[in-house]
Amino acid sequence: MSLEAAPLLPPAAAFAAGIALAVWLGAGALPLLVLAALCLLAAGAALRFGCDQVAASAVLAGAVSLGALSAASPAVPADHVARRALPPSVILEGRMVEEPVSWSPDRTRLLLDVEAVQDGAERQPASGRVQLTVYGEAPTLAEGQRLSARARLHSPVGFRNPGGFDYPAHLRRDGILLVGSARGDGLSALTPEVPPWPATVRRWAVATLRARLPESSAALEAGLLLGERTALPRETDEAFRRAGVYHVLAVSGFNVALLASSVFFSLSLLGMPRRATAIVAGLVLAAFAVVVGAQPSVLRATVMGLLLLVSVLIERESQVMNALALAGLILLAWRPGDLWEPGFQLSYTATAGIVYLSPPLSAWLKERGWPAWLAVASAVSVGAQAGVTPIMLAHFNQLSLVGIAANLLVVPLAGAATTLGMLALSVELASAAAAALLFNALWVLLLALRASVWLAAAVPAAMIHLPAPGWLAVGAWYGALGLLPCGRRPWARRVALALCLVVTASSAWPWLRPGDRSLRVSFLDVGQGDAVLVELPEGPRLLVDGGPGGTRRFDVGERVLAPFLWNRGAARLDVVALTHQDGDHAGGLAAVLRHFAVGEFWETGRSGPGSADLERALGSARPARRVLGVGQRVWLGGAVITVLNPAPDGGPASANDDSLVLRLDWRGVSLLLTGDLGPGGEARLLQRGGRLRILALKVAHHGSRFSSSAAFLDAARPDLAIISVGARNPFRHPSAETLARLESAGARVYRTDRDGAVILETDGATLRVTRWAQRITDRFDLDAERPRAVEPDSLTPEPAPL
């Protein structure tokens, strides 16, 4: 394919590059504006003197600076709620931006455009977009409705760990600078509930599907048709992910293309004139896009679909790649931040992969005697998969091995189910009895779809997890793909081969990299809870506790620990230790056991693992289970781990006082992990005697004032104290008293609520402590009498505050 066929591709790519560069350069609006103007002037001048090549380059440079200009974040207005000094609890008045979203019965998410805030008796106009989480029963609300809510507002905080998802940045791209929580009874509607027509259509469609189809099938059809996945059973969701066919559930360009083509062809078959058909199909397409909402993939497909229909109208041949570039340009000009969203990236890379790679690939397959239909379907599946592979790895660490094959079966079934669903819903308007027949047929189709996805997901190693690829690997991958269509030329083959080698080498690097023979301890930011990963000098990994999680709440194990471990290239944990069964320590471990090979599971034996979910995960993962008690020692990876608690006959004690307490020694570096040990446990630990003096202490029970007594700290005399605690936790951890005691004991305190992940790295002589939220590393000299901080060295400049 030549560039003449897609003249819009270079400016679209230049515009996207400008957006990407803006984040790194951070230039102001005025210089960019001047630059763009200069580029255009230069282009004009070059054109005047007949240098067409120069003019083209100048136009592209102008597109880059325009892209950077569009990405420059607008100033926050003075009356924005984020700029107000507000008390912890305020009354907000605002308008619902979208329909409420509810993933569990007692929790609803609202997006509110604030109009006024009431602080005490005073009501002041305000602006800004706020995302509210409503707990408990909320009144039924609709898009566009005005309401008032008593809410607690705060800046969004993600989990700040290496390679973690930047949640605040994601919200900022949607213009959300503040999030908040409210109780259902603190909400009151100011105007009646009158949803706009797209929301009404959507509600009607979901309700009809629920009434006409059995539960799971209705949830699946709602996902296929409208991208409405809130009712989808967890198993179905998981199976679609594992099989690598999740894209059919996120309303994608696929639905739009199906709708447009089925309307177009059925109307043509009915004998409607070609132009009228194109107009009707275009109208249906636009209506569908408005109903399902403005996700990047829908917009992309709608713009492309409309362009193709227009080309029918004006009877000109259209180039799909050009339509794709135009859709990208329009979307990025409207919402530049979308460039960083996985949905945008997946949609464009998949489509580009299909458009660019499939034709030569299917021609190649046909030459080898494949039947035409199979060659085309395989080429489309391979092209899409090749396009999205780096994106899936970068955002989700996922590589689907069955995806290409599964899509061959699933996409036609999903297409048929989508088309039939639309037909059934339209017939429902005319005759419920006729629609019932169609819904029954649809049910069979949905069962077949679910069965094939379930089978694909049951294949062993259907999906594997790999570390996110670096820029080098991604660039080389797309470079190699770009050369594939000219694979018949020897030079192209050689370059493509070299690029493939680069991809392989840089992807394998995390495993091939020789160990640096140092001890690394990461106190991860898991909110209110504990999760500590110890990477021992000779390679073994020990995870102590797994943060909060479970089936009913945000699962830290699934969403924080697993990605962190995948990005470290860790497929195996030698030991997982559970200090005690509280949810903020045990909750995330079930997901860890599901995703990683675990050698041993250490526990105290004082109580079960606490949740049935974890018990089940232990049952299917079958690690060797070791019950530990005081006095036991384990040599692991060159270090000695000593168990200091619980005592086997310690008498009755609370669950916290029975916490597993581990001491780790390596080359004079010592670390004490205390779980949630309380005052009673500390007293007994002191009674038993033994050397407690340590370098680094994981402060017990998130800094509760009852733990870390003066006597205990006197014996331990930690030089560093790490508190694993969540911001704004209701227990008011860490307490001021504990912080004061730690200070008077001479400990330097690190806190995961402020510092994000706290990472200790040592080779035995120096110790480096990284505060991930600030990207600052403190260095300590361990040979000194008492570790002394050498000046901190910054990894990168601190992120600019809002």
Partner 1 sequence: MLYSRPQLRLLLALGATLLAGLAVGEWRQGFPDAAERLERFDRDETPLLQSPPPPPAPSAPKPRPAPPPVATAAPAPAEAKPVDLNRASADELARLPGVGPALARRIVEERERRGGFDSPEALRGILGLGPKKLAAIRPLLSPGN
Q: Which positions lie near partner 1, rule CB under 8 A?
A: 104, 106-107, 135-136, 183, 214-217, 233-236, 239, 266, 269, 420, 434, 436-444, 447, 450-451, 454, 458, 550-553, 581-583, 587, 610-613, 615-616, 619-620, 654-655, 730
* Shortest Å, Cβ 727 to partner 1: 14
Select 587 or 787, whichever has its Cβ closest to partner 1.
587
CB of 622 to partner 1, least distance (A): 10
Pairing of strands 748-751, 758-762: unpaired
- When the beta carbons of 295 and 611 are compared against partner 1, the nearer one is 611
- Minimum distance between the CB of residue 441 and partner 1, rounded to whole angstroms? 4
Whether the Cβ atoms of residue 140 and residue 193 lie closer than 8 Å to each other: yes
Of the candidates 538, 544, 768, 545, the residue with the CA atom closest to the CA atom of residue 639: 538
Q: In terms of CB distance, is 261 or 266 closer to partner 1?
A: 266
Closest to partner 1 by CB, 615 vs 783, is 615
Q: Spell out a b/e string for 710-747, using b for 16 or more CB atoms within 10 Å of the CB, else e.
A: eebbebbebbbbbbbbbeebeeebbbeebbebbeebeb
In the complex, the smallest distance separating the C-beta of residue 406 from partner 1, rounded to whole angstroms, is 15
The torsion defined by the Cα of 791, 794, 797 and 802, in degrees rounded to 10, comes to -80
For every residue of 98-154, DSSP letters joined together read: S--EEEETTEEEEEEEEEEEEETTEEEE-B-EEEEEEES------TT-EEEEEEEEE
Structure tokens given for 196: 């706009």
Radius of gyration of the chain (CA): 29
Rounded least distance, CB 416 to partner 1, Å: 10
Report in angstroms how near the CB of residue 527 gets to partner 1 at its nearest: 11
Please calculate the CA angle 548-550-556 and round it to the nearest 5 degrees: 45
Query: For the chain, how are helix, strand and coil distributed in percent, rounded to 5?
Result: 50, 20, 30
- Three-state SS across 723-776? ECCCCCCCCCCCCHHHHHHHHHCCCEEEEHHHHCCEEEEECCCEEEEEECCCCE
Would residue 708 be called left, alpha or beta, if left means φ above 0 and alpha means ψ between -120 and 50 degrees? left
Nearer to partner 1 among residue 14 and residue 424 (C-beta): 424
Cβ-based nearer residue to partner 1, 181 or 200: 181
CB 64 within 8 A of CB 11: no
Residue 657 CB, nearest approach to partner 1 (Å): 12
Q: How far is the CB of 738 from partner 1 (least distance, A)?
A: 18
Rounded least distance, CB 16 to partner 1, Å: 38
* Least distance between partner 1 and beta carbon 247 (Å): 19
Q: Which is nearer to partner 1, 67 or 223 (CB)?
A: 223
Q: Which among 300, 318, 324, 301 is positioned nearest to 9, based on CA atoms?
A: 324
> Which tokens belong to 754?
């402020």
Question: Between residues 114 and 593, which has the closer beta carbon with respect to partner 1?
Answer: 593
Nearer to partner 1, 228 or 582 (CB): 582
* Cβ atoms of 292 and 227 closer than 8 Å: yes
Which residues contact residue 317 at a Cβ distance below 8 angstroms, ignoring those fewer than 6 apart? 311
Q: Which is nearer to partner 1, 268 or 632 (CB)?
A: 268
**Alpha-carbon torsion 319, 324, 329, 331, what sign?**
positive
